[in-house]
Structure 1
């Protein structure tokens, strides 16, 4: 039986983490343009494997979001996108006069109770000076064969917590796609369905995803117990990350 440990020790030789922050503010940088193009390609392939024609993989928020991208290191020195997602702070939305994506999500779905709850979260966070973010567009490359004994969900767990720790994000709104059961992973990380009058709200049908059922969730506190093992596992990849145009995130090695 092959042990996982030798493979895990070589994760940094297999993968490169790249964090691209607010591309529009650093567009003249050729690395920004290159990584942004790879991000679009990854999401195009990922979305086309899951959705019918007419679903766009990117939107306006991609230009000022923080993109967390995991690449596979190829023998020819090329980097192949494996997995990626974006996170968008409420502060960035205010800076660029854009609607907070969590609010836009429920507004476009025409869900009054959800809209009220998200508006209340936004108002409270602004009043209490708590940093709020939205996480979305988690995508995997459908053409990439994941090596044995490597779980990309662990990579997501690790980077999810580390990025928000560095950005000092305290609350997160996220959408769990029921078809892919991602709401179960998000629940593990500390997210709970939106609530009104003490009762959880139902899922919404996301307009831009052709009515895809999504459970909108919110976290006020991170469940560090759910990420500590993954953080240690992916620590070398995190500590060797490349950051492009990083405005909101500081480079700080993870202590393990």
Structure 2
């Protein structure tokens, strides 16, 4: 597999595409990847899905072919979208249920300050990759996917006008270290807690409104992939794209 085999896909507002069989199939493949990915790391009773699947934004790196195959993906949902669809902002739910009250206070303060400045906030979560990537055991492939995650995060937030990112990094799989390299900061001295729905794995919650210089360089390097992304929105469906091709 090389970079020419990869396609970035952005799927917005899944509920608006439910009549499109190709989009439903893509979402099913994405969830199968997450079932396999989370199951292999945390246990088969861990399922990364919620109401935001249907109105948030799914960002994926897929392998090209007759049918796009998700290799990596995550979900991003903004505070304003959560309010529109009457869902408590997942970051607040997570820290409120599992975290320290001081961390929750810090998180609320970050959100309040952003809103007072008219800035948007997202929670980016449900990070997963197919276990097949681990089987390759190639340093180059590992670094490529790490760089592509940085590319997705930065260009998504820049192009969609989302100034603030909140996310969780899992100590076991070292995503906490990855997010620090991306330029995120732990929310407080109480950022570390045991996440119940990951079978009590230890996590850190992060926030930032700017990324590391290294991450910006990586995003620029792979901007061509983002520029050639396939965006599935209310204006464009996967079936229509296939017919046009």
Q: Fold match, TM over 0.5? A: yes
1:133 partnered with 2:126: no
User: SS of the residue aligned with 2:42?
Assistant: coil
Which 5+ residue runs of structure 1 have no aligned equivalent? Answer: 1-6, 248-256
Tell me which residue corresponds to 1:3. none
Structural RMSD (CA): 2.0
Shift of 1:113: 1.3
Alpha-carbon distance in 2 for matches of 1:116, 1:149 = 41
Alpha-carbon distance in 2 for matches of 1:235, 1:120 = 33
Alpha-carbon distance in 2 for matches of 1:78, 1:29 = 14
The TM-score, its normalising length taken from structure 1, stands at 0.83
CA contact under 8 A between 2:183 and 2:215: conserved in structure 1?
A: no
Note the 1:81-230 alignment, pairs <5 A. 81-144=70-133, 146=136, 149-150=140-141, 151-195=144-188, 200-223=189-212, 225-230=213-218
Alpha-carbon distance in 2 for matches of 1:238, 1:179 = 29
Alpha-carbon distance in 1 for matches of 2:191, 2:97 = 16
Tell me which residue corresponds to 2:219. 231
CA contact under 8 A between 2:38 and 2:44: conserved in structure 1?
A: no
User: SS of the residue aligned with 1:201?
Assistant: coil
Q: Deviations over 1:190-249 (max 9, x none)?
A: 211112xxxx224011111111100011113233x22233224323321221111168xx
The TM-score, its normalising length taken from structure 2, stands at 0.87
User: SS of the residue aligned with 2:75?
Assistant: strand
CA contact under 8 A between 2:99 and 2:191: conserved in structure 1?
A: no
Describe the shift of the 1:126–1:202 C-alpha distance in structure 2 as closer, same or farther (beyond 3 A): closer
Instruction: From 30, 36, 52, give the equivalent of 1:61.
Output: 52
Which 5+ residue runs of structure 2 have no aligned equivalent? Answer: 236-245
Tell me which residue corresponds to 1:43. 34
- Structure 1 stretches of 4+ with a deviation exceeding 3 A read 144-148
CA contact under 8 A between 2:150 and 2:215: conserved in structure 1?
A: yes
Alpha-carbon distance in 2 for matches of 1:97, 1:174 = 20
Alpha-carbon distance in 2 for matches of 1:228, 1:110 = 31
- How many aligned positions are there? 231
Tell me which residue corresponds to 1:242. 230
Structure showing the higher helix proportion among its residues: 2
Tell me which residue corresponds to 2:24. 33
Shift of 1:148: 6.7
CA contact under 8 A between 1:175 and 1:217: conserved in structure 2?
A: yes
User: SS of the residue aligned with 1:137?
Assistant: strand
